[in-house]
Amino acid sequence: MNEPATLLAEGLARLNLALPAAVQQRLLDYITLVRKWNKVYNLTAVRDSDKMLTHHLLDSLAVAPHVAAASTLLDVGSGAGLPGIPLALALPAAQVTLLDSNHKKCAFLNQAVIELTLGNVRVICERVEKLQLNQKFNVVISRAFSGLPEFAEQAGHLVAPAGVLLAMKGVHPSEEIAGLKGNFKLSGITPLQIPGLAAERHLVFLKAA
């Protein structure tokens, strides 16, 4: 086992995520792809492979148990495909849509879908507040996209009636929660423990008021 594979396997064990060896390899292939494109497209400020594994892969996969029941998931401001691509690999039964308004990042996302043979993923290049679809999503998730009030205002129209907005945050976002108004309210907040990452992480749940 090479070092990244060992780190990934250990991290998954600590997250209590049992993923087949083939899926673990595709997760590593995804990180390789991000590193390759990062040289030209500046997809992420994280350059180190080990940090990509903890800060990106394991950080995204920590959310998997909380969205495992979702049949449809929209990743808003997906960027390099986070958390959407790791979640799509971990949850093959979910239909995942990656949304970003940056054309270079969308070019990468489309290439990742092809190279990783992600049959349950599609890419849309559009601003979230302008996106009009007939489909609504069980889960609409964002990672470092915007503040909670802006997220709810811009993405709320894409949530299915019984669905949820999920925001991946660092420290407890007390001020952002206090700023919530309109159609969405806080329904829960869960601290996340990311293997190999000392920083605080929280998953914020917003539901229609």
Whole-number Å distance between alpha carbons of 165 and 114: 28
- Would you say 26 and 89 are in contact if contact means Cβ atoms under 8 Å apart? yes
Tell me the mean pLDDT in the region 16-35. Answer: 95
Whole-number Å distance between alpha carbons of 128 and 159: 12
pLDDT grade for 133, boundaries at 50, 70 and 90 = very high
Range of the domain at 179: 3-208
CATH number of the domain bearing residue 113: 3.40.50.150
pLDDT, residue 2, reads: 56
pLDDT, residue 138, reads: 97
Model confidence pLDDT, tens digit, residues 38-91 = 887 777 777 777 788 888 899 999 999 999 999 999 999 999 999 999 999 999
Name residues whose C-beta falls within 8 Å of residue 16's C-beta, 6 or more positions apart in sequence.
65
CA 145, 169, 70, 114 dihedral sign is: positive
**Which residues share a beta bridge with 74?**
97, 140
Provide the domain count of the chain: 1
pLDDT, residue 153, reads: 95
pLDDT, residue 162, reads: 92
CB burial string 125-164: b at 16+ within 10 A, e below = beebeebeeeeebbbbbbbebbbbbebbbbbbebbbeebb
Q: What is the largest CA-CA distance in the chain?
A: 51
pLDDT, residue 1, reads: 44
Q: Which carries the bigger pLDDT value, residue 8 or residue 40? A: 8
pLDDT, residue 42, reads: 75
**Which residues share a beta bridge with 139?**
73, 164
Whole-number Å distance between alpha carbons of 205 and 51: 26
Q: Helix, strand, or coil here: 56?
A: helix
Model confidence pLDDT, tens digit, residues 151-208 = 999 999 999 999 999 999 999 999 999 999 888 999 999 999 999 999 999 999 999 9
